[in-house]
Amino acid sequence: MPRKEITSGNWAFAEAMRQIDPDVVAAYPITPSTDIIMKFAEFVANGKVETNFVTVESEHSAITACVTASAAGARVMTASSANGVALMHEIFPIAGCFRTPIVFGLVNRSVGAPINIHCDHSDSMGQRDLGWIHLYCEDAQEAYDSAIMAVRLSENNDVLTPVFVCQDGFITSHGFEPVEYLDDETVKNFVGEREPLNSLLDVDNPVSYGSFAMSEYYFEIKRQQIEANKKALELYDGIAKEYEAVSGRYYPMIDCYRTEDADHVIVIMSSASGAVKDVVDEMRDKGHKVGCLRIRMFRPFPKEAVAAALKGKKAVAVLDRCLSLGGTAPLVAEVRSALYASGEMIPTNSCIYGLGGRDFFPQYAEDIFMDLINGKISPEERYIGLLE
């Protein structure tokens, strides 16, 4: 029987880890993801899991241990945030290329400096092109559910790509809300046993990882990773529907909230989409045809689905909780590219919000919608809630 608890995003993710009972967890704590590993360490200490829990001296070592354990055929999970994620940077593309599935609880926090513990997406966005799948969760329930689904996606032998399950630091990770947990048996059956290809521990079929690939084959191996991303896009929905069958909750790659007949749409990710959806309801009541498109899967980017959801809109605003200093913020760059490629020349405002945990108020969403409605469209970046 499913049970409901008042809990946090971090504890919900840790509970998913307990139920998944991974073979190996190697981790090093950093705020705000520390809580995940603290809670999981408690499960280890109390004999609630059979996991080999490896405590290491840095995030670089943590992710290295995860990659090698996964290459050995283990089911592997870990968690980190911010500069911890940044320290893992060198190893992420190796995990991607070695095709070592890992489910990673990434609790989004701004990358210093200035040092700051609060949420923005600069940590995960710094890792966006390294061959990892990125899922961005709106709330604690979704973080829990995504952890379980991510195991299946990551370990699928046509995908074999590590997954970041992102949730907003403090807002989701430390906020308490009701979360419905599946029973242990259901989770166990859903995730099944990993059937590794090319396990280092399969001594009858020996393999070597980490071989040299110069100009002759490097490109071909990258092409295989592109294929794995295409497969992830193709297979994701089947896994989400299977999960719906056991949980009653369905998480599409993109969450279209009242967008179908909308003229004006805000595109956003993670927790702030809740405020936008509320504003959509209020403005709908006043007769404005507005909607919210929440991007849940950022890598691989579901560009066709995004273009289809925005087709024919009068104008959209894309809200990034991250900068690309000197360039175009990551989400708006993807959305504009998807629209251009599909022949949709829709005016697009680019809005930066929430850096370093700056609050995002419903009034901001309303102002952004009103700019779209009043034709205040311009190519320059806008800064929401900035002192100016």
Partner 1 sequence: MSDCKNWKEMKDVGKPKKWQDVPMGGIAYGASAENVETGQWRSIRPVWNEEECISCMLCWVQCPDRSITTDENGKVTGIDYFYCKGCGICAHVCPKKAIEMRPEADFA
Q: Could you list the residues that contact partner 1 (CB under 8 A)?
A: 97-99, 157-158, 160, 197-198, 205-213, 217, 219-221, 223-224, 227-228, 231
Long-range pairs for 93-96: beta carbons < 8 A, 24 or more residues apart:
93/130, 93/131, 94/67, 94/210, 95/63, 95/66, 95/67, 95/70, 95/131, 95/132, 95/162, 96/130, 96/131, 96/132, 96/161, 96/162, 96/225
For partner 1, give the closer residue by CB, 206 or 343. Answer: 206
Report residue 254 as tokens: 């993109």
Dihedral pair phi/psi, residue 189, rounded to 5°: -70, -35
Cα(270)–Cα(95) distance, rounded to whole angstroms?
25
How many CB atoms are closer than 10 A to CB 287?
6
Identity of the residue, 194 or 264, whose beta carbon is nearer to partner 1 in the bound complex: 194
- Cβ closer to partner 1: 6 or 213? 213
Minimal distance, residue 267 CB to partner 1, in Å: 30
Q: Smallest distance from the beta carbon of 20 to partner 1, in angstroms?
A: 24
Q: Provide the minimum distance between the beta carbon of 216 and partner 1 in the complex, in angstroms, as a whole number.
A: 9
Does an H or E element contain 242, and which? helix 218-247
Nearer to partner 1, 32 or 162 (CB): 162
**Orientation of helix 184-191 relative to helix 140-155, angle to 10°:** 30
Tell me whether residue 57 or residue 204 sits nearer to partner 1 (CB atom): 204
Closest by Cα among 333, 299, 296 to 131: 299
Nearer to partner 1, 198 or 342 (CB): 198
Closest residue by Cα to residue 173 from 142, 132, 149, 128: 142
Least distance (Å) from partner 1 to the CB of residue 121?
A: 28
- 305 with 338: CB under 8 angstroms? no
**Could you tell me the smallest distance in angstroms from the CB atom of residue 197 to partner 1?**
6
CB of 63 to partner 1, least distance (A): 16
Cβ 213 to partner 1, closest distance in Å?
Answer: 5
Beta carbon nearer to partner 1, 198 or 337: 198
Integer angstrom CA distances of residue 301 from 108, 233, 333: 19, 8, 11
**107: amino acid identity, one letter:** V
Count of all residues that appear for the chain in the document: 388
Minimum Å gap between C-beta 199 and partner 1 is: 11
Q: How far apart are CA 346 and CA 280, in angstroms?
A: 20
Q: 25: which 2 tokens? A: 């967890």
Q: Nearer to partner 1 by C-beta: 46 or 205?
A: 205
